[in-house]
Amino acid sequence: MLDGRRVLLAVTGGVAAYKSAYLARRLIESGAEVKVILTESAQEFIGAQTFAAITGDRPYTSLFSDERSVSPHTELARWAHVIVIAPATAATIGKVASGISSDLVSATLLAAQRPVLVAPAMHTEMWEHASTQRNIEQLEADGYEMVGPFEGPLAGGDVGIGRVAEPDEVVARLKELMGTPDNAKRLLVTAGGTREAIDPVRYVGNRSSGKMGHAIANEGAGRGMAVTLVTTSDEPVSAGVKVTRVESAQEMLEAVAAVEADVAVMAAAVADFKPSDPSSGKLARSDGLESITLEPTPDILASVVARDEPPFVVGFAAETGGVERAVAKAKRKNVDLLVYNDVTEEGSGFGTDTNRVVIVNRAGDTDEWPMLTKQEVAADLISLVLSEINPQG
């Protein structure tokens, strides 16, 4: 259930921090991708190199001194599918409950719109203190999930409630939290460029790699959606995604028609035309070819919008030049949202790992996003769609 999930593990400054190294290992063994934040006090108990060796990525330790990012708290909050605080000290719990963002952990949590699992760890007296209990009640009211604490041995030879949940207990609770529920939103994604046969060897197509659509499918699965991906691409996909591979527009149309969905994100670059009479055998160059007669391919996006009970539909428009054609397309196609990008812009074309998009709504209003990785675009797009279909959160 954690295959393909991106888990941000925040380790705060208690003696139980040593258990978080094994927790990181267990998360990875369960299929998750793990990044780690260490508070300054956590580093008094366990070193950053331990987590670097386990996760393959150096932990984040500061809001200000990491050359990998100018805004680590927002980038990590956007990257994660779920955040785990283990161990969570009384000090960190108090900060988060009060909305104080004085370090990387608390700032990331304030910027996050993701599930958060908290594993408290402290002495019994601290856990039972009225202020800690108020803070726990506030976190639960804010939607944070808890695992533990439990009765057991504590620091200094004491015994009582306050023992942090063991790594396997945290992983088990996280799997429950991240499992796809029966009422999960059903997400249909199309991806890649279709290939329309000229003969068994040659085809009419485009340069789409499928990276954007695959990123959206992976992000949806990471958010607990039930995802079906209809794709022409061999780009990687998380284990939580059901994949149907196709080649032509007609095959994609038929595959899409078989999928019931609450949300449809039509990111595929479907060829607009196909040869009307493809050859059953390879055409010989020596025979010459005077012309190829083309005919329109089926409009897959229109077929989804025209359903008796249409899903929330997001279209894509890969254009060259201004956004005006995309605005007109959004209105003409009657989609809920349309994602436009100029494929001639450096870093925003086919096959890149980044994208600069403009979001167009039904009314033709536009929202220009900065250059982001396709993973970040996918995360922000899924957040936008979920907010649109469920404004109450």
Q: Is residue 124 domain-shared with residue 223, that is, in the same domain?
A: no
- Write the CATH number for 333: 3.40.50.10300
Quote the pLDDT of residue 183.
59
DSSP state of 155: G
Q: Is residue 352 domain-shared with residue 371, that is, in the same domain?
A: yes
β-pairing, 273-275 with 294-296? antiparallel
Residue 137 CA to residue 141 CA, distance in Å, equals 6
Quote the pLDDT of residue 252.
96
DSSP state of 13: S
Q: Is residue 1 part of a domain?
A: no
Mapping DSSP onto H, E and C, the string for 80-113 reads CCEEEEEEECHHHHHHHHHCCCCCHHHHHHHHCC
Per-residue pLDDT of 159-211, as tens digits, reads 778 889 899 899 888 888 876 665 578 999 999 999 999 999 988 888 889 99
Q: Which of 246, 271, 276, 270 is nearest to 258 (CA)?
A: 246
Within a 13 Å sphere around the CA of 65, how many CA atoms are in the beta-carbon half?
A: 5
Q: Against a cut of 0.85, is the pTM above it?
A: no
DSSP 3-state percent helix, strand, coil across the chain (nearest 5): 35, 25, 40
Q: Is residue 223 domain-shared with residue 367, that is, in the same domain?
A: yes
**Percent with pLDDT over 90 in the chain:** 53
Cβ-contact 11, 38 below 8 angstroms: yes
Quote the pLDDT of residue 66.
76
Residue 362 CA to residue 360 CA, distance in Å, equals 7
Residue bearing tokens 């970040």: 376
Q: Which residues form the catalytic set? A: 206
Structure tokens at 171: 């992983």
Count Cβ atoms below 10 Å from residue 140 Cβ, excluding itself.
13
- Write the CATH number for 19: 3.40.50.1950
Quote the pLDDT of residue 156.
67
φ/ψ bin of 111: left (φ > 0), alpha (ψ from -120 to 50), beta (otherwise): alpha
Out of 124, 156, 178, a domain closes at: 178
Q: Is residue 98 domain-shared with residue 61, that is, in the same domain?
A: yes
Q: Is residue 257 part of a domain?
A: yes
Count of domains for the chain? 2
Quote the pLDDT of residue 68.
80
Q: Is residue 119 domain-shared with residue 199, that is, in the same domain?
A: no
Q: Is residue 340 domain-shared with residue 259, that is, in the same domain?
A: yes
Residue 223 CA to residue 115 CA, distance in Å, equals 9
Q: Is residue 156 domain-shared with residue 282, that is, in the same domain?
A: no
Per-residue pLDDT of 22-78, as tens digits, reads 999 999 988 888 999 999 999 999 999 999 999 999 999 988 877 787 788 988 988
Q: Is residue 135 domain-shared with residue 46, that is, in the same domain?
A: yes
Residues of the chain with confidence (pLDDT) below 70: 1, 155-156, 179-183, 239, 391-393
Quote the pLDDT of residue 182.
56
Q: Is residue 139 part of a domain?
A: yes
Out of 135, 160, 178, a domain closes at: 178
Residue 367 CA to residue 371 CA, distance in Å, equals 13
Q: Exposed (0-12), middle (13-18) or buried (19+): which is 197, by Cβ within 10 Å?
A: middle
Q: Is residue 52 domain-shared with residue 10, that is, in the same domain?
A: yes
33: β partners: 6
Q: Is residue 45 domain-shared with residue 85, that is, in the same domain?
A: yes
Q: How many residues does the chain have?
A: 393
Q: At how many degrees (to 10) do helices 72-79 and 104-111 cross?
A: 50
Residues whose CB is less than 8 angstroms from the CB of residue 340 and which lie 6 or more positions away in sequence, other chains included: 316, 317, 319, 323, 326, 357, 358, 359, 360
Q: Is residue 380 domain-shared with residue 257, that is, in the same domain?
A: yes
DSSP string, 228-263: EEEES------TTEEEEE--SHHHHHHHHHT---SE
Residue 326 CA to residue 323 CA, distance in Å, equals 5
Quote the pLDDT of residue 233.
94
Q: Domain of 337?
A: 186-389
Residue 18 CA to residue 173 CA, distance in Å, equals 20
DSSP state of 119: E
Q: Is residue 232 domain-shared with residue 257, that is, in the same domain?
A: yes
Q: Is residue 360 part of a domain?
A: yes
Out of 178, 210, 231, a domain closes at: 178
Q: Is residue 37 part of a domain?
A: yes
Quote the pLDDT of residue 279.
87
CA gyration radius, the chain: 25
Q: Is residue 264 part of a domain?
A: yes
